[in-house]
Structure 1
Amino acid sequence: MSRATDLELFSAIAKSGSLSEAARRLGLTAGAVSRRLAAMETRLGCPLVLRNTRGMALTGEGKRFLAGADDILERIAALEDAVTSARGTLKGKLHINCSWGFGERVLSLAAAEFAAANPEIELTLLLSDPPLDPVQSGLDLVIHIGELPESRFHAKRLFRNDRILCASPSLLQKTGSSVTSPADLAKLPAISIDEDRLPGNIWELKGKNGAVRIRFHSSLRTNSSETATRWAEAGLGVILRSRWAVSDALQSGKLTQILPDLTMPSSGYAYYAGNRLASPARSFLRFLVPWLKQRGIAS
């Protein structure tokens, strides 16, 4: 095995927290991972990992080795990308999974631009709720909004995904409501979205002074975020939605943000199996983040 491969293996061990999990990420047996770790420790003349009944931890030498390993792996990835760029053509396959909402509204547009700029990339975008397992589905990347489903995958934070409170100007005018505090929401109807998986009729938000729980009255309920947005635009109630999902409605004036100091913070991530991304996946992420920033989705 090459030294670079050993660095990948050790990085996987350190970041997964166990030999068995590292083996799963790398497609090896736990025994093979254990033997290669032992060989590295013998070659270096010091232990890198301490194991006990409660798990494992890096030694001081292991922490230093990890920092250097990650730096070298990043340099290797950058070198590979530089060579690819010098050839002028990015080639290969790229399989991406994303949720239906973000995928249809946002990621499909980014993927289309990336594919147009790289015609020799074979790009597949699969939309699903919940997200697919990258190992079982043979995916290069999963773009996920919210909490990461499993710690065994490598993850890269792409952008903040704050959910915000919105209502139509017609609703505020019709009810004569001036919403300046959470208590004012009691005067307004709300629209509940089942897919949010939130506690019934409670929005748990965060503001400058900490957490705020808002109990709301909902006479309209749906499992479709798009339906909820259309209802809100029609003046039927207040909604809590991701900023990217209502950006067009906010710009057109169909919706207006209320109580802007209160949000439900979240993030968008890219996660993947294995220890290193293939060149097409790395290139796509480098393209995606500035693309999102240009559209006000990423900050």
Structure 2
Amino acid sequence: MTTFIRSAATHACARPESPSSEAAGLAGTSFKHEHLAAILDDELHDGFFEVHAENYMGAGGAPHRALNAIRERHPISLHGVCMSIGGPDRLDADHLARFRMLVARYEPALVSEHLAWSSHGGAFFNDLLPLPYTGATLDKVCDHIDQVQEAIGRPLLLENPATYVTFSSSTLSEAGFIRAVAQRTGCGLLLDINNVFVSSVNHGFSAQAYLADFPLEYVGEIHLAGHSTQQDDNDAPLLIDSHDRAVADAVWALYRDVIARASPVPTLIEWDSQLPAWPALRAQAQIARRLLLAHVAAPTQNFQAAHTERIGHEARI
């Protein structure tokens, strides 16, 4: 395996490597075992599938048989949820070793983790918890990402969080913090647009302004998902990143704005509970795929129109 070496001078303005050609420009979905038979019968040619790494850290058995069947036919995205990149403790060496083995075993097109923490003092929490955006936290996150990238021999994609609280001690904006991480480590970014929308409603900021400040040049994958709505103690809306329903219209609108400003990025529909039948989930990915294709076609159409106008003008001279 090629060793991934970071140099501060080299990566100060580095861009991540391009996503694997396997997944570039494709739209995919979460892989759920309930859908395996339908997926294998579907003759799908334009998608990819994401799996949570922790579900496949055993040596074998039914989970690996199912994932092997998918990997033989489609690109996969390996998405970690328990690395605790933002935690104050050292990374768990055993967990990182299992993660590295999965990357080597399945050669995923995309590899990602969360800007969050989920363990402390040997205890593991069933949540992705937020962190303060400070210089000290930045140093710790960058150190952890360096360790992961060194272990897997390739850039990692780091996902922006959905948050329900913020820290008064933060000295950097979230987008600014994420930009600094990418610049210092050479990692790529996974832009979860539903997370942006959820956080914007919960904290009262503009999702459009956040995305205008987000470093799209580092984005190697996009996530879209559904969210649920609750009420907080003041009866104000509280959005939950629940992954249990279709993508909301407001999130689709933000996605259109993003892909109009970025290259066609592999886009994944996350749906983890209250699962629909496979055709309904695939239909969500097909919406993203159509929007991606329209974005690719638009520059060509604009060029052709300009070329035709120029030829006509020259003919009149």
TM range (shorter): under 0.3
Higher-Rg member (1/2) = 1
Q: Which has the higher strand share?
A: 1
TM-score, normalising length: structure 1: 0.21
